């Protein structure tokens, strides 16, 4: 009897345990999309109608949340008797390393509009989506640092290291510096140790490598040793190296850094001045944060962080004339499984920038859900379900709240969904395994009860 129970338990475990491999994240944050905003104050331009479409029918795989296309089309009117050139801005969230201009379609009366790109601050909280603050960050001026000036002269050490055999070499440099008098930027090293003013940096070299140390302020003395081990105890002379020094301005060093970076298509379309500001800001911040020491990896990490991008463009309106301005772009939602077993997908669209226009009328919204989450279960705006599971809303004016809505796999959230969410919240990635174990225990218990019942029945005859 006991042997039979263990065999049943083992057989079920073999089929249940792999479920945990399909687990995904419980929460994946997206960012709000936005209306177009006007930069100048007291603009006479009126928005007669906005047609806003959220299309998730072509959801792309590879994200932990839903992706879709947002298209906002504005019918705008210049009511004055003179021509008017309106300067507009469109902010969105993106990463430098994955910015693709072809994903953004910006037109006026069907004709493509040229635009300038401005890189803003790293996204840390929703307060940054105050568009008055975003407009203030739109600037072509060069970043001015606290720890350095752009034209400040620095000493650049370029060290070419070459192992003389196939033995890999751990190339180490020791130096001392006072962070109030000296700032250091390193490139190519993968080990950093500090004890007060004493500093050691090192790099594994399998073949010829080029390492850099940029010294701002008082110079340092380099003490160089090579090792064959990771603990830096086994010294070796199976290496040659050359040191080349030159004087260079901080600004020029960062511009050279940009040129050497392989950032794909984004480097070709993002203005050099904006990239310079991003790296200079990062250098300044890390020099403060790390007490005078920054690495090239610190700078390049900026390319992978969500930040505010702003497209700035101009639309020329004839006197008493209309223009149809349209912008289309990709959007990602927030995936949330903290309260339910199945994911809720939430999307935000900031309508408040439209309040900057002289007048705003007639907002028409359409949501085309994906097959993965075809039901609209929450929204700040009342929608009507049309045929083919398309949701629509028509508003005469801007609502008091920004638009927020949630898509779900089922028509409503059931108590069972909430119970599953509670398991997910308490056990995280182990939820499938815990549920599987409970099912196993329940099944084994029922089998044991059935066997005992059967044995009693047999014993009774």
Residue 292's pLDDT is what?
Answer: 97
| Same domain flag for 276 and 187 | yes
Query: For 152-208, how does the pLDDT look when each residue is reduced to its tens digit (9 = 90+)?
Result: 999 999 999 999 999 999 999 999 999 999 999 999 999 999 998 999 999 999 999
Query: For 314-345, how does the pLDDT look when each residue is reduced to its tens digit (9 = 90+)?
Result: 999 999 999 999 999 888 888 888 888 788 89
| Same domain flag for 15 and 51 | no
Side-chain half-sphere CA neighbours of 208 within 13 A: 4
| Same domain flag for 160 and 286 | yes
| Same domain flag for 351 and 379 | yes
Helices 431-459/415-427 angle, 10° precision: 110
% of residues, the chain, pLDDT over 90:
53
Residue 53 lies in a domain: yes
Domain boundary among 304, 333, 361: 304
Residue 5's pLDDT is what?
Answer: 46
Residue 138 lies in a domain: no
Alpha-carbon separation of residue 92 from 284, 312, 333, 336, 381 (angstroms): 25, 12, 13, 21, 22
- 228 φ, ψ (degrees, to nearest 5): -110, -5
Residue 128 lies in a domain: no
| Same domain flag for 391 and 448 | no
In 260-343, at which residue ranges do the beta strands (DSSP E only) sit? 293-295, 307-317, 322-332, 334-336
Residue 19's pLDDT is what?
Answer: 31
Neighbours of 13 (CB within 10 A): 13
| Same domain flag for 173 and 66 | no
| Same domain flag for 245 and 320 | no
| Same domain flag for 258 and 383 | no
Residue 429's pLDDT is what?
Answer: 55
Residue 427 lies in a domain: yes
Supply the CATH number for residue 320's domain.
2.60.40.3680
Query: For 2-34, how does the pLDDT look when each residue is reduced to its tens digit (9 = 90+)?
Result: 444 444 333 333 333 333 233 334 444 565 666
| Same domain flag for 193 and 287 | yes
Residue 445's pLDDT is what?
Answer: 77
More confident residue, 337 or 144: 144
Average pLDDT over residues 99-112: 91
pLDDT-based confidence at 125, cuts 50/70/90? low
Domain boundary among 304, 338, 361: 304
Residue 40 lies in a domain: yes
pLDDT-based confidence at 128, cuts 50/70/90? low
In 164-232, at which residue ranges do the beta strands (DSSP E only) sit? 169-176, 182-187, 191-195, 198-205, 209-217, 223-227
Query: For 404-435, how does the pLDDT look when each residue is reduced to its tens digit (9 = 90+)?
Result: 999 998 888 776 766 655 556 555 555 566 66
Domain boundary among 241, 270, 304: 304
Is residue 225 pLDDT above 90, yes or no? yes
Over the chain, what is the mean pLDDT? Answer: 84
Query: For 240-287, how does the pLDDT look when each residue is reduced to its tens digit (9 = 90+)?
Result: 999 999 999 999 999 999 998 865 556 667 899 999 999 999 999 999
More confident residue, 459 or 101: 101
Alpha-carbon separation of residue 246 from 203, 209, 214 (angstroms): 22, 19, 10
Residue 13's pLDDT is what?
Answer: 35
| Same domain flag for 116 and 179 | no
| Same domain flag for 291 and 316 | no
Encoding tokens for residue 341?
């077993």
- Distant-in-sequence, close-in-space partners of 169: CB < 8 Å, separation ≥ 6: 161, 163, 204, 205, 226, 227, 228, 236, 238, 239
Rounded CA-CA distance 403/398 in Å is 10
Supply the CATH number for residue 236's domain.
2.60.40
More confident residue, 461 or 137: 137
Alpha-carbon separation of residue 377 from 86, 199, 373, 412 (angstroms): 39, 57, 10, 6
Residue 249 lies in a domain: yes
Question: Total domain count for the chain?
Answer: 3
Q: What is the H or E stretch that residue 415 is in?
A: helix 415-427
| Same domain flag for 51 and 90 | yes
Is residue 53 pLDDT above 80, yes or no? yes
Residue 64 lies in a domain: yes
Which neighbouring-strand residues pair with 70? 54, 329
Range of the domain at 177: 153-304
Going by C-alpha positions, the residue among 310, 283, 286 that lies closest to residue 94 is 310
Going by C-alpha positions, the residue among 223, 221, 215, 220 that lies closest to residue 287 is 215
Edge-to-edge strand list for the sheet holding 198-205: 191-195, 198-205, 169-176, 223-227
Which neighbouring-strand residues pair with 160? 210, 242
Residue 208 lies in a domain: yes
Average pLDDT over residues 120-126: 76
Query: For 386-397, how does the pLDDT look when each residue is reduced to its tens digit (9 = 90+)?
Result: 988 999 999 999
Rounded CA-CA distance 209/216 in Å is 23
Going by C-alpha positions, the residue among 319, 284, 278, 318 that lies closest to residue 301 is 278
Rounded (5°) CA angle 334-340-344 = 25
């Amino acid at each position: 009897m006991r042997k039979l129970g263990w065999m049943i338990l083992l057989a079920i475990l073999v089929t249940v345990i792999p479920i945990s491999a399909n687990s995904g994240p419980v929460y994946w944050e997206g960012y709000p999309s936005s209306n177009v905003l006007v930069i100048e104050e007291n603009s006479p331009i009126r928005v007669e109608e906005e047609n806003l479409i959220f299309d998730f029918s072509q959801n792309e795989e590879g994200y932990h949340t839903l992706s879709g296309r947002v298209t906002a089309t504005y019918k705008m009117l210049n009511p004055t008797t003179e021509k008017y050139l309106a300067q507009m801005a469109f902010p969105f969230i993106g990463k430098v390393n994955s910015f693709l201009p072809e994903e953004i379609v910006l037109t006026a009366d069907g004709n493509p509009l040229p635009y300038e790109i401005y890189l803003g601050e790293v996204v840390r909280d929703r307060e940054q989506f105050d568009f008055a603050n975003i407009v203030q960050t739109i600037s072509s001026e060069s970043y001015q640092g606290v720890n350095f000036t752009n034209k400040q002269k620095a000493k650049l050490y370029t060290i070419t290291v070459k192992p003389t055999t196939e033995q890999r070499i751990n190339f180490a440099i020791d130096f001392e510096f006072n962070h109030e008098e000296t700032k250091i930027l390193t490139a190519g090293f993968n080990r950093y140790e500090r004890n007060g003013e004493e500093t050691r940096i090192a790099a594994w070299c399998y073949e010829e490598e080029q390492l850099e140390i940029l010294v701002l302020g008082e110079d340092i003395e380099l003490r160089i040793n090579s090792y064959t081990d990771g603990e830096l105890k086994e010294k070796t002379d199976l290496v040659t190296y050359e040191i080349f020094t030159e004087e260079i301005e901080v600004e020029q060093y960062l511009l050279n850094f940009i040129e050497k970076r392989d950032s794909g298509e984004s480097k070709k379309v993002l203005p050099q001045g904006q990239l310079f500001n991003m790296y200079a800001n990062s250098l300044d911040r890390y020099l403060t944060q790390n007490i005078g020491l920054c690495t090239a990896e610190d700078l390049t990490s900026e390319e992978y962080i969500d930040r505010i991008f702003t497209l700035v463009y101009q639309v020329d309106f004839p006197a008493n004339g209309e223009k149809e301005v349209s912008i289309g772009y990709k959007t990602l939602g927030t995936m949330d499984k903290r309260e339910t077993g199945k994911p809720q997908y939430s999307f935000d669209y900031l309508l408040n920038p439209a309040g900057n226009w002289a007048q705003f009328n007639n907002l028409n919204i359409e949501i085309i859900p994906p097959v993965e989450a075809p039901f609209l279960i929450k929204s700040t705006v009342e929608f009507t379900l049309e045929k083919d599971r398309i949701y629509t809303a028509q508003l005469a004016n801007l609502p008091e709240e920004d638009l927020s809505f949630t898509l779900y796999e089922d028509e409503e959230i059931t108590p069972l969904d909430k119970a599953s969410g509670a398991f997910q919240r308490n056990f995280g990635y182990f939820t499938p395994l815990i549920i599987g174990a409970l099912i196993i225990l329940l099944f084994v218990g029922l089998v044991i009860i059935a066997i005992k019942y059967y044995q009693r029945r047999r014993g009774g005859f």
